[in-house]
Amino acid sequence: MQMSEKREAPDLFMQKEIARLKEANLDWKVHELDGPSQSKTIVDGKKSIVLCSNNYLGLANHPKLKEAAVRAIEEYGAGSGSVRVIAGTMKIHIELERILSEYKGVPDSIVFQSGFAANSGCIQQLVEEGDLIVSDELNHGSIIDGCRLTSAKRVVFKHKDIEDLGRVLDQNASSARRILVITDGVFSMDGDIAPLDKITKVAKNYGAMVYVDDAHGDGVLGENGRGIVNHFKLEGKVDIEMGTFSKAFGVVGGYVAGSHILKQYLMNKVRPYLLSGSHPPAVVGACLAAIRLVQSDPSIVQTLWENTRYFKKGLKDAGFDIGHSETPITPIMCGESSIAQNLAQLAFVGGVFVLPIVFPMVAKGKARIRTIVTSSHSKEELDTALDVFEKGGKKLGLI
């Protein structure tokens, strides 16, 4: 067989795309941590205060979680041996779902390998041809992927805009058999909170299901970090409460909390649950320890909020524009991409690890440094970081 003249070298598309990304300075450079994820660790060979992890409660390297992981390995081994529905459900997998349901105040819950697997696996099973998905325009990529895997009609509403949600529902609801209204709980780029109380009210008027992705609200919002549903006192009103163990809980794993029938349905339908290996015992043990810890010690979440208020006030007092965050995610607005990149570089030299967030992750002209404090940062570390940002901000003419 002859090679077509049109046929290009098999990896040419990769070469071209990488060249384009490098040219635009949009290619990811991986930073290497030589040590655990904690408030201060070695990053790219330099001891740095970490202000860009999702380790909100400082649990990633917590002795109780490590101890629980080791214990689980000793009792159950290094791997689970199978997918959940064949031979990969151990006693601790069941225990984790029981403790999680109790913590969330729901009848039942189901754990997946990751939050990404939960969103991409569940959304596609909840709606199909003839149905409607209504999604906030700034929803997370894993929600977008989940929506793309369905044949349901998909429409977006303006970010957090209840009137627009009503308009979109009015225009599209009549022909839909089922409707799924879906939103992030806390939006990861701005740190703002979805008006879930109002969204739920509007959705119910149309007989829609409500699905919230609480990845950044878990362990952060609500009493003892129970999340956004508890924050708005919406227990029993949100059909699908999805979250993750990879952020505040310091480990890895996704989950959906809700009714018994929802769990039964998802465990029979979700492809990553049916077709991909279950969590190794160490992960499950550490997740269990994380929930037990936040349940028994309210001071961890309280410290997170004290640090959040302290750091936000420091940035504001220095004169920075910190957007409209309501959570420990605090952007330092820089405008131009180059300013954000330079500020991150100055911070790193000063011993603070943060990353610039630039187009296309955020709109053009809205480049920023995204800072995330944790409950394990000391006041001294926060003061050092504030000082470094103030000096850098002045140097770059931001403040």
Ligand X SMILES: *Cc1c(COP(=O)(O)O)cnc(C)c1O
Residues binding ligand X (CB under 6 A): 114-116, 119, 140, 142, 184, 188, 213, 215-216, 244, 246, 254
Side chain identity, residue 33: L
Residue 305 C-beta: closest distance to ligand X, Å? 19
CB-CB contact of 331 with 357 (8 Å) = yes
SS (H, E, C) the chain: CCCCCCCCCCCHHHHHHHHHHHHCCCCCCCCCECCCCCCEEEECCEEEEECCCCCCCCCCCCHHHHHHHHHHHHHHCCCCCCECCCCCCCHHHHHHHHHHHHHHCCCEEEEECCHHHHHHHHHHHHCCCCCEEEEECCCCHHHHHHHHCCCCEEEEECCCCHHHHHHHHHHHCCCCCCEEEEEECECCCCCCECCHHHHHHHHHHCCCEEEEECCCCCCCCCHHHCCHHHHCCCCCCCCEEEEECCCCCCCCCEEEEECHHHHHHHHHHCHHHHHCECCCHHHHHHHHHHHHHHHHCCHHHHHHHHHHHHHHHHHHHCCCCCCCCCCCEEEEEEECHHHHHHHHHHHHHCCEECCEECCCCCCCCCEEEEEECCCCCCHHHHHHHHHHHHHHHHHCCCC
Residue 139 C-beta: closest distance to ligand X, Å? 8
**Given the complex with ligand X, which of 114 and 150 has the nearer CB atom?**
114
Nearest residue to ligand X, using CB? 115
- Cα(105)–Cα(371) distance, rounded to whole angstroms? 31
Annotated active-site residue 247? The verdict is yes
**Given the complex with ligand X, which of 219 and 254 has the nearer CB atom?**
254
- Cα(243)–Cα(275) distance, rounded to whole angstroms? 21
**Given the complex with ligand X, which of 96 and 388 has the nearer CB atom?**
96
Residue 47 C-beta: closest distance to ligand X, Å? 26
Catalytic residue of the set 109, 114, 188, 325: 188
Catalytic residue of the set 104, 140, 160, 216: 216
**Given the complex with ligand X, which of 179 and 248 has the nearer CB atom?**
248
Annotated active-site residue 216? The verdict is yes
Residue 119 C-beta: closest distance to ligand X, Å? 6
Residue 102 C-beta: closest distance to ligand X, Å? 21
Residue 284 C-beta: closest distance to ligand X, Å? 14
**Given the complex with ligand X, which of 276 and 342 has the nearer CB atom?**
276
Residue 246 C-beta: closest distance to ligand X, Å? 4
**Given the complex with ligand X, which of 211 and 232 has the nearer CB atom?**
211
**Given the complex with ligand X, which of 328 and 393 has the nearer CB atom?**
328
The four Cα atoms 249, 252, 257, 260 give a dihedral, to 10 degrees, of -130
- Cα(386)–Cα(369) distance, rounded to whole angstroms? 13
What pairs with residue 48 in β-bridges? 41
Residue 342 C-beta: closest distance to ligand X, Å? 27
**Given the complex with ligand X, which of 109 and 246 has the nearer CB atom?**
246
End-to-end CA distance of the chain: 66
Catalytic residue of the set 93, 247, 279, 377: 247
Give the catalytic positions in this structure.
Answer: 188, 216, 247
